[in-house]
Amino acid sequence: MSDIYPVNPDIAAKAHADNEKYLEMYKQSVDNPEEFWGEHGKRIDWFKPYTKVKNSSFDGDVDIRWFEDGTTNVAYNCLDRHLEKRGDQVAIIWEGDDPSESENITYKDLHQRVNKLANAMKAQGVGKGDRVTLYMPMIPEAAVAMLACARIGAIHAIVFGGFSPDALADRIKGSGSKMVITADEGLRGGRKVPLKANADLAMDREGVESCIVVKRTGGDIDMKDGRDVWYDEVTAAASADCPAEEMNAEDPLFILYTSGSTGMPKGVQHCTGGYLVYAAMTHEYIFDYHEGDVYWCTADVGWVTGHSYIVYGPLANGATTLMFEGVPNYPTVSRFWEVCDKHKVNIFYTAPTAIRSLMREGKEPVEKCSLDTLRVLGSVGEPINPEAWNWYNEVVGKGNCPIVDTWWQTETGGILISPLPGATALKPGSATRPFFGVEPQLVDNDGNVLEGATDGNLCMTTSWPGMMRTCYGDHERFKQTYFSTYAGKYFTGDGARRDEDGYYWITGRVDDVINVSGHRMGTAEVESALVAHAKVAEAAVVGAPHDLKGQGIYVYVTLNAGEEPSDELKKELVKWVRQEIGPIASPDWLQWSPGLPKTRSGKIMRRILRKIAEDDFDALGDTSTLADPGVVDELIENRQNRQ
Ligand code: WTA
């Protein structure tokens, strides 16, 4: 039996939904999605109202449309429609890496900045349907650039600032971006990140036409004549009046590259109308956001969490959203809590990996802050272990802030499974129940539907407004990746358990994706980086349990004939992967392996490699189908000797 934390009646009384209301709304949302979403689609303003609500099929060609004859604009919904009522309200609280730097940006101010940048982008020849790559630090200009794209109908593709020049170049190429927006340097934990220098390498490789550069640190960088312009200069010269482009509900809003089990990252494409409705509605109900709340999501805009729950959801709701440039342990390990006190944060949303690393520092850095404004806590990105959940609940939430453990994915656009603060009794480690309109299903490996309390592969049987529409430029890949494993269903790639109360417990990826500190990494990407090294013949990568990161990257490397393993070479290979992909892909462990366990048809048996990395030598399963079973003994021996 797991612990159960009942709903706090005071929170339920004021919340958007108590349990009864949740059950009623959920029932309506699945019994009659047309009526439910037809009503809730009105939470955003439409230029031309929709007459059709849902039109989607997970069969055949997989065609997903919501509100398909409606037109609107995302930036209009996040800015213009708030001006009359809350023009002087703070839209973005920006907290710099250095605690002495912060800034409040009102809706009026944000609107002006977005319009100016939008006009400056137009002047550079960017228009509706063009792709723009953003490679930005966590500064207000990142949100301004997203909204400026949305305003003119350009499609943004954000690349996390920790990715290498090559990874950036691949994404610029994949999205066919003609413009890049970046900054001279980023600043994180007191250290500078050479964004423009990295972008130069990528832009030179891809022949990018234009680049707008924000001056963040004033560091010394190269500006290429005819291509690079300063953000300050072009926006100062631009008009603050830029009409919002009329977009169809199904027009793309952004592309975001994410790792899958095979090949290079996919361009997950999200749309305008359904995405915004879903991001805004989940933000309001799941965080129980109320007028006047200060809301802080600690993610980076380079990930989907930053898109939906720092920028689009909160701003569509007219919220005050906090954007943080820094890291949890700079200048001290009290930083998160100091920021909560400084800006009177009511809703705080972070990742288990951050909680685990702060938990290690003990209670004292938390307890010296008051945290008395906090009301709701959130978790995202990976399963939260009960120990971290309890610490979050007791030490940070003082036992009276509900924790919403939100399960979702880049592909889903918004949260699919999560408690609602006033409705759901909590069980530490469970993402609990589906949001409105979400119909999860567990299936076995043959696709048989499993009922009741059971373990299985997590699928969705029907679409919700916020889900991705296609892989950019490759609809076939979209169909193959998500709808072919179990015909007619969206397969999430996650395993889950459903308990006797119908609560879902996400058990982690069942494919070759690993989750390192809440960041998604494809084992294939790391492998292809390794084999690109001149001394490496073969490599296999698996995830292995890691105290802080949740999962760490465990690599098995076979060297070319004539190459000798050494500690130096280990270091060189780790450095190589960092350079090829970025620091987030740094291998945590590297084991030399004279050979890899393969089937007779040449497929690497990762199941065995995972078990060896976990020191679980008795659970290797059947090794008789291996081409050379002797390889396994050798790997175990090397592992035991930590070679
Ligand atoms: C994992 C992040 C357990 C999961 C929003 C999923 C989680 C992948 C949770 C998506 C959670 C995310 N509990 N696992 N609350 N949230 N995951 O695309 O494996 O970066 O498939 O989206 O993270 O990662 P992504």
Same domain, 32 and 165: yes
360 carries a ligand binding annotation: no
**Distance (Å, whole) CA 524 – CA 516:** 15
How do residues 492-551 score in pLDDT, each as one tens digit?
A: 999 999 999 999 999 999 998 999 998 999 999 999 999 999 999 999 999 999 999 999
In the reported structure, the alpha carbon of residue 359 is separated from the centroid of ligand 1 by a whole-number distance in angstroms of 21
**Distance (Å, whole) CA 382 – CA 364:** 26
In the reported structure, the alpha carbon of residue 406 is separated from the centroid of ligand 1 by a whole-number distance in angstroms of 8
Which residue bears the tokens 């309001």?
Answer: 284
Ligand 1 within 6 A of 300 CB?
no
- Is position 172 within any domain? yes
Same domain, 484 and 575: no
**Distance (Å, whole) CA 159 – CA 167:** 9
User: Residue 140 — pLDDT band, cuts 50, 70, 90?
Assistant: very high
Give nearest CA residue, ligand 1 atom 7.
Answer: 382
Ligand 1 within 6 A of 305 CB?
yes
Ligand 1 within 6 A of 416 CB?
no
269 carries a ligand binding annotation: no
Ligand 1 within 6 A of 408 CB?
yes
382 carries a ligand binding annotation: yes
Give nearest CA residue, ligand 1 atom 1.
Answer: 382
Q: Is the pLDDT of residue 458 over 90?
A: yes
Strands 252-258, 54-57: pairing is unpaired
- Given ligand 1 and candidates 506, 510, 511, 521, which is best to mutate, with the most ligand atoms within 8 Å of its CB? 506
> Can you give the pLDDT at residue 502?
98
C-alpha distances in angstroms, 194 versus 158, 165, 183, 230, 254?
A: 17, 10, 9, 16, 25
Question: How does DSSP assign 396-422, residue by residue?
Answer: ITTT-S-EEEEB--GGGSS--B---TT
Residues 6+ apart with CB under 8 A from 353: 381, 382, 517, 518, 548, 549, 550
The reply to whether omega before 331 is within 30° of 0 (cis) is yes
- Is position 358 within any domain? yes
Q: Domain with 234 in it: what CATH number?
A: 3.40.50.12780
**HEC assignment per residue over 617-643:** HHHCCCCCCECCCHHHHHHHHHHHCCC
439 carries a ligand binding annotation: no
Give nearest CA residue, ligand 1 atom 8.
Answer: 409
User: Residue 643 — pLDDT band, cuts 50, 70, 90?
Assistant: low
- Is position 3 within any domain? no
In b/e form, how buried is each residue of 254-277, taking b as 16+ CB within 10 angstroms? Answer: bbbbbbbebebbbbbbbbbbbbbb
- Structure-block tokens of residue 58: 């997970």
> Can you give the pLDDT at residue 29?
98
In the reported structure, the alpha carbon of residue 378 is separated from the centroid of ligand 1 by a whole-number distance in angstroms of 13
Same domain, 32 and 156: yes
Residue 533 has a CB neighbour count (10 Å cut-off) of 18
Which residue bears the tokens 């690079």?
Answer: 228
592 carries a ligand binding annotation: no
In the reported structure, the alpha carbon of residue 409 is separated from the centroid of ligand 1 by a whole-number distance in angstroms of 5
Same domain, 536 and 492: no
610 carries a ligand binding annotation: no
In b/e form, how buried is each residue of 44-79, taking b as 16+ CB within 10 angstroms? Answer: bebeeebeebbebebeeebebbbbbebbbbbbbbbb
User: Residue 628 — pLDDT band, cuts 50, 70, 90?
Assistant: confident
**Distance (Å, whole) CA 30 – CA 37:** 10
- Is position 512 within any domain? no
Residue 610 has a CB neighbour count (10 Å cut-off) of 17
- Is position 212 within any domain? yes
Same domain, 414 and 543: no
How do residues 94-112 score in pLDDT, each as one tens digit?
A: 999 999 999 999 999 999 9
226 carries a ligand binding annotation: no
Ligand 1 within 6 A of 430 CB?
no
Mean pLDDT of 559-565: 95
In the reported structure, the alpha carbon of residue 407 is separated from the centroid of ligand 1 by a whole-number distance in angstroms of 6
The residue ranges of DSSP E strands in 194-312, in sequence order, are: 210-214, 228-230, 247-248, 252-258, 266-271, 294-297
In the reported structure, the alpha carbon of residue 261 is separated from the centroid of ligand 1 by a whole-number distance in angstroms of 14
Ligand 1 within 6 A of 493 CB?
yes
- The overall longest dimension of the chain from CA atoms, in Å, is 73
- Is position 508 within any domain? no
Strands 131-135, 155-158: pairing is parallel
Mean pLDDT of 207-229: 98
Question: How does DSSP assign 568-609, residue by residue?
Answer: HHHHHHHHHHHHHT-GGG--SEEEE-SS--BBTTS-B-HHHH
Same domain, 27 and 127: yes
In the reported structure, the alpha carbon of residue 384 is separated from the centroid of ligand 1 by a whole-number distance in angstroms of 11
Ligand 1 within 6 A of 366 CB?
no
Ligand 1 within 6 A of 509 CB?
yes
3-state secondary structure of 86: helix
Q: Which of 497, 527, 549 is the last residue of a domain?
A: 497
Question: How does DSSP assign 116-161, residue by residue?
Answer: HHHHHHHHTT--TT-EEEEE--SSHHHHHHHHHHHHHTPEEEE--T
In the reported structure, the alpha carbon of residue 383 is separated from the centroid of ligand 1 by a whole-number distance in angstroms of 8
Same domain, 484 and 572: no
Q: Domain with 521 in it: what CATH number?
A: 3.30.300.30
> Can you give the pLDDT at residue 540?
95
Same domain, 487 and 552: no
Ligand 1 within 6 A of 403 CB?
no
The residue ranges of DSSP E strands in 382-499, in sequence order, are: 403-406, 440-443, 449-450, 454-460, 470-471, 490-498
Give nearest CA residue, ligand 1 atom 12.
Answer: 381
In the reported structure, the alpha carbon of residue 599 is separated from the centroid of ligand 1 by a whole-number distance in angstroms of 31
Ligand 1 within 6 A of 405 CB?
yes
Find the domain containing 69 and state its range. 9-497
In the reported structure, the alpha carbon of residue 408 is separated from the centroid of ligand 1 by a whole-number distance in angstroms of 5
- Is position 622 within any domain? yes
Ligand 1 within 6 A of 420 CB?
no
Same domain, 533 and 441: no
- The chain-wide mean pLDDT, for the chain, equals 96
In the reported structure, the alpha carbon of residue 16 is separated from the centroid of ligand 1 by a whole-number distance in angstroms of 25
410 carries a ligand binding annotation: yes
Q: Which of 468, 497, 526 is the last residue of a domain?
A: 497
Q: Is the pLDDT of residue 1 over 60?
A: no
Q: Is the pLDDT of residue 629 over 90?
A: no
Contact in structure between 97 and 144 (CB atoms under 8 Å): no
ipTM for the complex shown:
1.00
406 carries a ligand binding annotation: yes
Same domain, 165 and 220: yes
- Given ligand 1 and candidates 350, 406, 407, 468, which is best to mutate, with the most ligand atoms within 8 Å of its CB? 407
User: Residue 623 — pLDDT band, cuts 50, 70, 90?
Assistant: confident
Share of the chain above pLDDT 90, in %: 93
In b/e form, how buried is each residue of 115-146, taking b as 16+ CB within 10 angstroms? Answer: bbbbbbbbebebeeebbbbbbbbbbbbbbbbb
3-state secondary structure of 227: coil
Same domain, 474 and 559: no
End-to-end CA distance of the chain: give it in Å, rounded: 41
112 carries a ligand binding annotation: no
Ligand 1 atom closest to 508 (CA): 19
How many independent structural domains does the chain possess? Answer: 2
520 carries a ligand binding annotation: yes
Residue 29 has a CB neighbour count (10 Å cut-off) of 20
The residue ranges of DSSP E strands in 150-306, in sequence order, are: 155-158, 179-183, 186-188, 191-193, 210-214, 228-230, 247-248, 252-258, 266-271, 294-297
Mean pLDDT of 459-487: 97
Q: Which of 437, 464, 497 is the last residue of a domain?
A: 497
- Is position 417 within any domain? yes
Q: Among 46-50, 92-96, 122-126, 608-612, where is mean pLDDT lowest?
A: 608-612
Q: Taken in order 46, 51, 57, 61, is the CA torsion positive or negative?
A: negative
230 carries a ligand binding annotation: no
Same domain, 186 and 274: yes
Question: 19-31 and 33-40 are packed helices; what angle lies between their axes, rounded to 10 degrees?
Answer: 120
Give nearest CA residue, ligand 1 atom 5.
Answer: 409
Mean pLDDT of 2-27: 96
